[in-house]
Amino acid sequence: MASNDQASDVAAYAASVRAALSDLPRDQTEVLLEDLEDHLREIAAEAGGPLNERLGPPQQYAEDLRAAYGAAQVNPARQDPALHDLQRGLAWVTGSTWYRQTRAFLPELRPAWWVLRAYLAVLILMAAISAGYNLGPIPNPVTKRGFVEILATGVAIWLSVRIGRRSRKLSQTALVLAYSANMLIALLAVMVLGNMRSFAYSELIGTANPQQTTFANAFAAGQVTNIYPYSQDGKPLTNVLLYDQDGRPIMVDKSEAQTSYPIGADGKAVTNAYPLTQRHLNGDLVVAPRVAFPPWPTPTTSPTATPTATPSPSPH
Amino acid sequence: MNQAEVDTTQLLKGVLDLAVLAVLSEADSYGYDVVRRLRENGLDHVGDASVYGTLRRLYQAGALNSYVVPSDEGPHRKYYGLNNRGRKALDQSAQTWVSLSKALNHLLNGRSNGHGK
């Protein structure tokens, strides 16, 4: 049996015995159990094998101890029955095989925690020095920041393992400090990780929002299938060529009506001369909608722009 | 645990103080060693917890000295030894035991002539 297992076996067994005797007055248990651990360690070292097999269940051991010590039996009437049940339950849990196996196994997880705490510490550091930065659980190695984060995590793990391996030799105060630091890391990590999740969520919303790419979508009212230009004094214009800010011909959404485009001299259709000539499926012309003109302040000049019927395919 | 073993345990409990004192009168010793020496002397049924509890009680009652001896391999050991009070207690208990066992032997001898076990 490895000495590590043995130590945790002794600790678990002693804890169970103490739990079973927890109803005794404190001064009595102190004298009785003063060097229980040392005694059990002696047995474990000389006899070998799990203490449970060697000495029987810790509850029985506790009862034998109580009898041999001649400890005063606690008056059941004096003791709160609920408390007694609780102590019994606690003794049952700490004396059970699975509890002792779990306790014996936990120390083996130590190196895993050393690695994890290093990773978390770097994560907390990154969150602290880069407020608002979109921190992820796994750093992106392509970005400079992510690369630095990975490098820092590597160094932190190396350091953390070094510290962890030396923790057995630490003094009592250093141990308390180390425990506090571990608790702090765990606590801060919960906060950082909690924030991280909300970051990712808002990011998702951002990308889910469809980009307004088409001309027609700019109009909240719905599809735009034709454009009817008027002059300032309200005269309908024909064959008005529309271009966007980049000089591209503006196209409208396809409608159910059939659209016939004027054909240019080069044989290509002119698709941005408005209004478009459209016919319903039954052949009737689509008529212009009724429009309400805005009341102009005082019309001084009335520019009469009447484009020619032969537009050139390219502007300027 | 059958009935016979229970009886043995009960009997042992009454004389465990005496047995422990007797072992310690030979030489100072620590908990597990006391158990081992008792078993070597034929007290097979003696329980570890009983011996440990008895040692603590005798110590608490002021019959034993206690001192710690560092050990090279393993934990340091708490040795127990008789003090004056302990030796006095041993003497008294031993006398009581001798007279008690004499009486019991007498009783048992008369009985064993009739029927064995």
List per-block mean pLDDT (blocks of 10 residues) for chain A, which spans 316 residues.
72 90 82 85 80 87 85 50 76 80 86 92 84 70 83 92 81 84 90 66 40 46 79 86 85 79 82 86 82 75 53 52
> Which pLDDT score is estimated for A73?
46
> Which pLDDT score is estimated for A213?
39
> Which pLDDT score is estimated for A9?
86
Angle of helix B31-40 relative to helix B3-26, nearest 10 degrees?
Answer: 110
Average pLDDT over residues B108-117: 62
C-alpha dihedral (A267, A272, A276, A282), degrees to nearest 10: 60
CB contact A64 to B (< 8 Å): yes
With a threshold of 0.80, does the pTM exceed it?
no
Task: Answer yes or no: do A31 and B60 touch at CB < 8 A.
Answer: yes
Give residue A124's domain range.
Answer: 110-208
- Residue at A287 is within a domain: yes
CB contact A31 to B (< 8 Å): yes
* In a shared domain, residues A24 and A75: yes
Residues 6+ apart with CB under 8 A from A215: A224, A244, A250, A251, A252
- Residue at B34 is within a domain: yes
Task: Answer yes or no: do A42 and B54 touch at CB < 8 A.
Answer: no
- C-alpha closest to that of A8 among A114, A109, A100, A111: A100
> Which pLDDT score is estimated for A133?
61
* In a shared domain, residues A234 and A256: yes
Number of folded domains that form chain B: 1
> Which pLDDT score is estimated for B116?
45
* In a shared domain, residues A191 and A218: no
- Residue at B35 is within a domain: yes
- Residue at B45 is within a domain: yes
- Residue at A102 is within a domain: no
> Which pLDDT score is estimated for A301?
56
Whether B61 contacts B43, CB under 8 Å: no
pLDDT cut 90: percent of chain B above it: 33
- Closest residue, chain B, to A30 (C-alpha): B56
Amino acid at B32: Y
Number of folded domains that form chain A: 3
d(C-alpha A169, C-alpha A172), whole Å: 9
> Which pLDDT score is estimated for A46?
77
| Last-in-domain residue among A156, A177, A208 | A208
**Half-sphere exposure of residue A164: CA atoms within 13 angstroms, side-chain side:** 19
> Which pLDDT score is estimated for B111?
66
CA distance to A142, A280, B69, per residue, from A287 (Å): 59, 10, 113
- Residue at A303 is within a domain: no
- Residue at B117 is within a domain: no
